[in-house]
Amino acid sequence: MASIESMTASPPASSALSSLPAIPSLDPRAPVGIFDSGLGGLSVLRAVRAQLPNEAIIYVADSLYAPYGERDDDFIADRTLAIGEWLVAQGAKALVVACNTATAQSIALVREKLPIQLIGVEPGVKPAALQSRSRVAGVLATQVTLRSARFQALLERHAADCRFLCQPGHGLVQAVERCDIGSPELRALLESYIQPMLDAGADTLVLGCTHYPFLDAAIRDIAGDRLTLIDTSIAIARQLERVLDQQGLSSPGRDAAPQPRFCSTSDGAHLRQLAATLLQIDAPVERVHIPSRRTAATDSHAA
């Protein structure tokens, strides 16, 4: 079972979320918002559609400002809140923050500010520690995720006697964002990250960024069956299902699965390409303008 960060349907009475008013217009047929700094959250969207085929989805890629892994903490929190507020305005009944970096740096702030249920994602340290037989596991994640207090707390809680080798995946998000999931250059970069883990005896690899499941085939070409890959996408979809059930917000049956609504703060060309290539969804992408405190001037100029 993968490790996730969730604002469940019954938060503690002292939490900020519990003091927020309910949104009277919430309807079971309202969409679920899924947000990522770019295209990585499509791995979560894929799992959500498989688990919850009746749910309408609005997917937002903040590709104009990706990757978040190279941004400062205030910038990440600023963008996460702005996009969460935009999705609430679009009628979203729940929000999946499908970005490890945004969850690590922003989930507490967003929990206080938004009046809908949130589900975030964090690297699967716990399942990796449970599964590793060699007691050595690798973690591939962004530098921001690895340095975050949330990640360090995960290691303290769940690592136990398992040694975790933490590797920043510099360049991997950018590769996925340009739809490169198997070039010789990408494979060489991945090998430089993964081979030292194998040499150290790792038998498990945590994919600590939602972009990385799209590199699954390339990783397996390098590691063969020597690494068990830990991907949190399925666990996130199952947690979303539980939260919606608890809130009475699960969508009723539909004649056909709704087509996701794709939105991007950039031109959306790569989003459409990756959705078509990896999800077999050929759909238009709306370019949306979502200003925030840190980017208002830039967004206005870009618009």
Q: Is 68 flagged in the annotation as binding?
A: yes
Q: Judging by DSSP bridges, how do beta strands 4-6 and 117-121 pair with one another?
A: antiparallel
Place of tokens 């077999």: 280
- Is the CB of residue 277 less than 8 Å from the CB of residue 44? no
- Is the CB of residue 154 less than 8 Å from the CB of residue 104? no
Q: Is 101 flagged in the annotation as binding?
A: yes
> 99, 162, 166, 263: which is the annotated catalytic residue?
99
Three-state DSSP at 62 gives coil
Tell me if residue 99 is catalytic.
yes
Angle at 148 between CA 114 and CA 102, to 5 degrees: 35
Beta strands in 156-297 (DSSP E): 163-168, 204-207, 228-230, 261-264, 285-287
Q: Is 37 flagged in the annotation as binding?
A: yes
Tell me if residue 209 is catalytic.
yes
First to last CA, the chain: 42
Q: Is 211 flagged in the annotation as binding?
A: yes
Q: Is 301 flagged in the annotation as binding?
A: no
Q: Is 8 flagged in the annotation as binding?
A: no
Strand partners, 118: 95
> 162, 166, 209, 263: which is the annotated catalytic residue?
209
Show binding-site residues for substrate: 36-37, 68-69, 100-101, 210-211
Active site residues: 99, 209
Show binding-site residues: 36-37, 68-69, 100-101, 210-211
